[in-house]
Amino acid sequence: MYGVHEIKGATIKKETLINRVVEKALKNDDLAVYEPGTQSKNFLHVADVAAVYRRAVEKIANEKEKETKFFCLNGSESAILELGQLREDLARKRHQEV
């Protein structure tokens, strides 16, 4: 899970891979990708997880059977190296626009 959100005006974030990549990109800091870089993850934004959680609570509240499994996946995985490459591509594009 990744993303930043606010609760009662306070910024809430978790140190996750995507959040670190974005922060380093905004600061124009180097990003270290450890070999082989093919490790993959399924990334979900916090807002999507919250929406699934809300729907799950509603479903459970409306059913007699309270034991239910819910899976929250986006259906694709991204390799760490691909994430690093995307960051570089976006940084290069942003630099050309400025």
Q: Other CB atoms closer than 10 Å to residue 10's CB: what's the count?
A: 7
Confidence of residue 18 (pLDDT cuts 50, 70, 90): confident
Q: How many separate helices (H) and strands (E) can be counted in the chain?
A: 3, 4
Render pLDDT for 36-67 as a digit per residue (tens, 0 to 9): 878 787 788 888 888 888 888 888 887 776 67
Report the chain's mean pLDDT, rounded to a whole number.
79
What is the per-residue burial (b if ≥16 Cβ within 10 Å, else e) of 60-73?
Answer: eeeeeeeeeeeeee
Percent of the chain with pLDDT over 90: 0
How deeply is 22 buried, as exposed, middle or buried, from its count of CB atoms within 10 A (0-12, 13-18, 19+)?
Answer: middle
What's the average model confidence in pLDDT over 13-31? Answer: 78
Cβ(33)–Cβ(84) below 8 Å:
yes
